[in-house]
Amino acid sequence: MTSAPDDIILEASGLSRSFRGLQALADYNLRLATGEILGVIGPNGAGKTTLFNVITGFLPPTSGTIRLRGQEITGKEPNSVAALGIARTFQNIRLFSRMTVLDNVKTAQQLRGKAGFWETLFSTPSFLAKERALDEAAYAHLQSLGLEQFSDVYASALPYGFQRKLEIARALATEPSVLLLDEPAAGMNAQETAEITGFIRAIHQRFGLTIIVVEHDMTLIMPLSHRIQVLNYGRVIAEGTPDEVRGNPEVIEAYLGADEPADAVGA
Amino acid sequence: MAAAAPVQRPVRRQPFARQQAMLALAVLLIGALLTWFAHANLNGYRQQLFILCAIYAIVAVSLALTSGFTGVFSLGQIGFLAIGAYVSALLTMPPLVKQPIMLPGLPEWLATFDTTGWPPQAALLFACLVGGAVAAIIGLLVGAPLMRLSGNYVAVATMGFLIIVHSVLNNWGAVTRGARGLSQIPTSTNPWVAYIWLVIAVYVALRLRNSPYGRSMIASRENLIASRGIGVNVLRTRLLAFVVSAFLTGVAGALLAHQIGAIAPTTFYFGTTFTVVIMVVLGGMGSISGAVVGAVIMTLTPELLRPIEAGGAIGPIQYSGLYGLSNIILAVGFILIMIFRPQGLFGERELGLALFGRRTPQQEWAGESIAITPELAPEIDEPIPDPRA
């Protein structure tokens, strides 16, 4: 649990991505320690979601490399990245609406083992055993996150806050070691934000996760993060502990508006 | 039962599993009875209609499998019907009508391939399997590039496949006899064979649906990006659905060829394509039993309405014969169904207890609003130890 070099779980070097001349991400570098919570903040269009899309394989980088536990994952397909242990949520919630909450989780959980085609076709005892195990594991997973009362409800029928939670629960069901959360508190009021902050904190410990969280809401990001990176125009303009970033004049100018007092940022 | 036993978790899985199994058995038996009745008692024309219902039900089920589950709207399904029909026909036609004078393009082994000495049903089974297999292989080759597309693009691209198949059938006269088509195919399809293959198709579709593969298919339909994010290999998932449905449709093609005894390219084009699409939409996209019901309705209704075209009387009102009236009535029926029940007769559901409102997923959460489990995070105010420290 120390910061020895082999404790680096995710490493990005020289990561860039441009869209027809627009530099969405420029020379991005990261050494993420196992168990760390990294907060990424920045104004709209700063490249935060692009960063997530590049790490998870939805967008290939224009240049640069990404390594997970030393293994290069640059340019891999999203499903392969997920299989290697990076899960994510989305800024605009993306659930499987016309599937039950339980099936949402099962679909993610089956990444770690499912019945084969011929087993399925002939509904063999091994198929039934695997499906039953999957079913029970998914239910237990929902139970551990306080979602089990919804298990047979369509995902689209959930109250908003629980949709956010289900999306995180589904990502966790892929048994990731790194979890990327894209604006988990978007559209939430202060109380809900506090609750989701506690939720993230709890899953961080329980699942032994390393987390990168993108968020605008300082009341979530400040108490949660060990370290914060500030992105602007695709570049990291500041990096440090929440306190360091909070006091950085460049950050205040770029992100929070120059005329705003620094203490308005704090949580 | 014992009150003292600790409650592990509520028993909630498939509370009606037993009833559903009984229902499936009942449906299977009724189908078998109908088949027996059709086989033993119906006259030729009605028997053919029964077989046709079963064949189109197989095609509709396969289309529901690929389009309904994965959301990849395929307009090329009838191409596989054609491949199954032609391949199987070329296998079982007697060598006498496959001679170089008639079909100069056939390789010698196929021209002399003789199943006339086989038991007719063995030859048909063989023809069905080979027809289905060839359709599946072509499905794999066609699907590998096309299943990367989505939405309108895949609909247009699969239609391109249908047009190609149709052009080949029309113009490769040395093997297909062009627009004249193939004839003298042994007419060995009977109600039982058609029914058994329909049962197989429904079974395969339902098995896939209630499996990891089905969940991946539906997940990729519901949210393509999220499904990739949780590890679904979308191309492989779609390809599986496409190839399995190509196989089943290929089998249906073989049954069709051996029902009529003669096939021509006109059967395998837009008309049939849209009829089958209507069957699936009518039954409810994503519902296997809906596809079967849609196929039966679409096959029988035009026949039942046909007498109307001869003219007659509705009560006191006399009207003269009008050719095409049955089609107009049918079309008005569809429009009404699409207006009042756009999800189709069955929607996403299957025939079963769920249909009677017993165990369908709730559309809306009706419970009390609950706070987000604070007990999950008792250590909420403690600082998180920094792993880098």
Q: Tell me: the pLDDT tens digits for B72-96?
A: 999 999 999 999 999 999 999 999 8
Across the interface, whether the CB atoms of B212 and A195 are under 8 A apart is answered no
- pLDDT of B102 > 90? The answer is no
Report residue A84 CA to chain centroid gap.
14
- The letter for the amino acid at B164 is I
* pLDDT at residue A183, as a whole number: 93
Which amino acid makes up residue B37? F
Q: For residue B152, what pLDDT is reported? A: 87
pLDDT band with cut points at 50, 70 and 90 for residue B356? very low
- Rounded Cα distance between A246 and A72, Å, is 34
More confidently predicted of A259 and A97? A97
Q: Is B230 on the interface with A (CB under 8 A)?
A: yes
Please give the angle made by the CA atoms of B202, B206 and B208, to the nearest 5 degrees: 120
Least confident residue range of A235-244, B121-130, B157-166: A235-244
Question: H-type helices in chain B, by residue range?
Answer: 17-41, 44-63, 70, 77-92, 108-111, 120-146, 151-171, 173-176, 191-209, 212-222, 224-229, 234-260, 270-283, 288-305, 325-340
pLDDT at residue B304 is higher than 60: yes
One-letter amino acid identity for B156? Answer: V
Domains of chain A, by residue range, sit at 5-95+171-264, 97-157
Question: Across residues B169-183, what is the average pLDDT?
Answer: 92
ipTM of the complex: 0.89
Pairing label, strands A37-41, A210-214: parallel
| Selected residue of A89, A96, A178, A212 to mutate for chain B interface (largest B Cβ count, 10 A) | A96
Lowest mean pLDDT among A236-245, B126-135, B235-244, B250-259: A236-245
In 3-state terms chain A splits into helix, strand, coil percentages (rounded to 5) of 45, 25, 30
Q: Which CATH number fits domain A5-95+171-264: 3.40.50.300, 3.40.190.170, 3.90.550.10, 1.10.1660.10?
A: 3.40.50.300
Nearest to A96 among B208, B223, B365 (CB): B223
Which residues in chain B touch residue A211, judged by CB atoms under 8 angstroms apart?
none
B232, B238 in Cβ contact below 8 A? Answer: no
Percent of chain B with pLDDT over 90: 58
Contact A135 B13 (CB under 8 A): yes
Predicted pLDDT at A260: 47
User: What pLDDT, on the 0 to 100 scale, is given for residue A3?
Assistant: 43
Q: What's residue A44's pLDDT?
A: 82
pLDDT-derived band of residue B45, with 50, 70 and 90 as boundaries?
confident
Phi, psi for residue B142 in degrees, rounded to 5 = -75, -40
Cβ of A134 and B212 within 8 Å?
yes
Which residues of chain A neighbour B372 with C-beta distances below 8 Å? 146, 161-162, 165, 192, 195-196, 199
> How high is the pLDDT of residue A6?
57
Position B11 scores a pLDDT of 47
Closest-CA residue of chain A to B8: A140
Closest Cα partner for B66 from B57, B58, B55, B77? Answer: B77
Contact flag A79-B233 (C-beta cutoff 8 Å): yes
Q: Of A254 and A132, which is predicted with more confidence?
A: A132
Residues of chain B neighbouring A196 (CB-CB closer than 8 A): 372
Q: What is residue B389's predicted lDDT score, i.e. its pLDDT? A: 62
pLDDT reading at A4 higher than 50: no
- CB distance A158–B384 less than 8 Å? no
Whether residue B9 has pLDDT greater than 60: no
CA dihedral sign, ordered A97, A99, A103, A109: negative
Q: Residues A36-79: pLDDT tens digits?
A: 999 999 888 888 999 999 999 999 999 999 999 999 999 899 99
What is the nearest CA distance from A96 to chain B, expressed in angstroms?
A: 5
Judged by a CB distance cut-off of 8 A, whether residue B234 touches chain A is: yes
Q: Which residues in chain A have their CB less than 8 angstroms from residue B388's CB?
A: 3, 33, 36, 226-227
Per-residue pLDDT of A71-106, as tens digits, reads: 999 989 999 999 999 999 999 999 999 999 999 999
**Best interface-test mutation with A: which of B69, B217, B244, B384 has the largest number of A CBs within 10 A?**
B384
| Tens-digit pLDDT profile for residues A117-160 | 999 999 899 999 999 999 999 999 999 998 988 988 899 989 88
* % residues pLDDT > 70 (chain A): 93
pLDDT digits (tens, 9 = 90+) for B182-226: 999 999 999 999 999 999 999 999 999 989 999 999 999 999 999
CB pairs under 8 A between A and B: 171
Report the Cα A163 to chain-centroid distance in Å: 15
Q: Considering only CA atoms, which of B136, B88, B133, B66 is closest in space to residue B276? A: B66
- CATH fold of B45-309+322-352 reads ABC transporter involved in vitamin B12 uptake, BtuC (1.10.3470)
